Amino acid sequence: MLNHNQGIAIDQSASSVYSIVQQEVDLGTSALVRSDAEMAITFFQSALQKLRAGDAFHDHLLHNLLLGYKLQIQQKLDNGEHDAALLTLDKVLQFKIDGLMAGDVEFRKRFAGVFDGLGLVFSRHGKVDESLQCCRKAIAIYPSSGFRINLENALRAAGQTAVLSDFATSHTSEEIGRHIFIACVPKSGSTFLKNILLSLSGYRDAFMVYTPGQFEQDLYLPVLDSVAGLDTVTQQHCRASDTNVQMMQAFGIKPVVLVRNIFDCVVSLLDFYNGGAFANSFFREDYRSLDEETRIDLLIDHLVPWYFEFVASWSLVEKQRRLHLMWLNYEDLIRDKPKTVVDVLGFYGLAAPSRGIAQRIDEIEVEKRGTRFNKGIAGRGALRLSQEQKLRIERYARYYPATDFARLGL
């Protein structure tokens, strides 16, 4: 908010006009402090009418006027005057910084912050569509990650689909590449499938996360933004969090969701961790000291719940039609690899000759180039796990009565 303590250089010939403007700013500022929105708006509007967009003071006055309207909208909503509040919102959504402060980053951030705060005002009054409008306006003015927190909440509350401008202001939809995305549970043959798709498509391998290790493999916007214009193949162990789904919506990503029999997953995880993967876990200090059965219990207690969350989250996305996705089972992949690859390529509107697919699969299997494709045998889990361990795994399904876990072999 601009007040008399903020100095701006002005032309001496316009000093009389600015003197009046300063008086009106002071009166408007005092009215804001008293929460007299009507009076503040009157004085700020009067002062603004005396200036042109390129004049000193103009953008600051517009910011003050926006603050006055924000207060007015809040008061009208509090008083139940919802229609009047919405009319005022239509007016302020037209505000834009087109004066001398257009290139000032800090000023744009403060200006956008008013709209971000206004979005919260509408949200508290149950006006979710209006809240989303305000959040999007804030992002358009200053694309801050902080403002996207409220944008995510507004998108979810409004049940609306994210658009590219919600996340990327430097790209147009025509510039966005094609993205093959495998959202997968660990130990489901995903690396093997990714390598085949990379070879056949000629796309670039892209890991769209902040960093691996102990982090959840959620989409990370700066990395996603950096590869958005490329054709990519991605394989990530990620649940359908609201932010992941919204970014996929915005960038036109439709995922293949790859799952596997949960009992087989546990046994394959045991092989994986026994082979050294425990070094990336939170239990890395103690894992080697545990006996085999305790290790299995550890995986069931701490890793298996993630698998249920994974299936439940993507099932809900499918049910709500928030994304176009394709389910794929590990068992189908190992049963008929060429057909599975053809189906995946078809899902993305791509094609390759069957002979070429089969040949490339054979080559990759011979190379065994980091595929982590274990024994490729279905049914090991049912034989290796005890009845008590299998029952413990099955009991996790009771927390998700609306989800069908047949995809996990239950």
Amino acid identity of residue 187, one-letter, is K
Contact 48, 17 (CB under 8 A): no
Q: Is 34 helix (H, G, I), strand (E, B) or coil?
A: coil
pLDDT of residue 97: 95
- Of 191, 189, 133, 199, nearest in space to 166 by CA: 133
Q: How many residues does the chain have?
A: 410
Q: Is 259 helix (H, G, I), strand (E, B) or coil?
A: strand
Contact 396, 312 (CB under 8 A): no
Query: Rounded distance, CA 249 to CA 151, Å?
Result: 14
Domains along the sequence of the chain with CATH = 12-161 (1.25.40.10), 175-408 (3.40.50.300)
What pairing do the DSSP bridges indicate for beta strands 179-184 and 326-329?
unpaired
What is the strand order of the sheet 204-205 is part of?
204-205, 232-236, 179-184, 254-259, 326-329
pLDDT of residue 55: 84
Tens-digit pLDDT profile for residues 236-246:
999 999 999 99
Query: Rounded distance, CA 370 to CA 390, Å?
Result: 30
Contact 42, 18 (CB under 8 A): no
Tens-digit pLDDT profile for residues 276-301:
999 988 999 999 999 999 999 999 99
Residue 50, classified by CB atoms within 10 Å of its CB into exposed (0-12), middle (13-18) or buried (19+), is: middle
Query: Rounded distance, CA 288 to CA 22, Å?
Result: 73
- Going by the DSSP 8-state scheme, the letter that residue 123 receives in this structure is H
| Residue ranges of the chain whose pLDDT lies below 50 | 4-5, 8, 10
- Of 194, 165, 170, 196, nearest in space to 182 by CA: 194
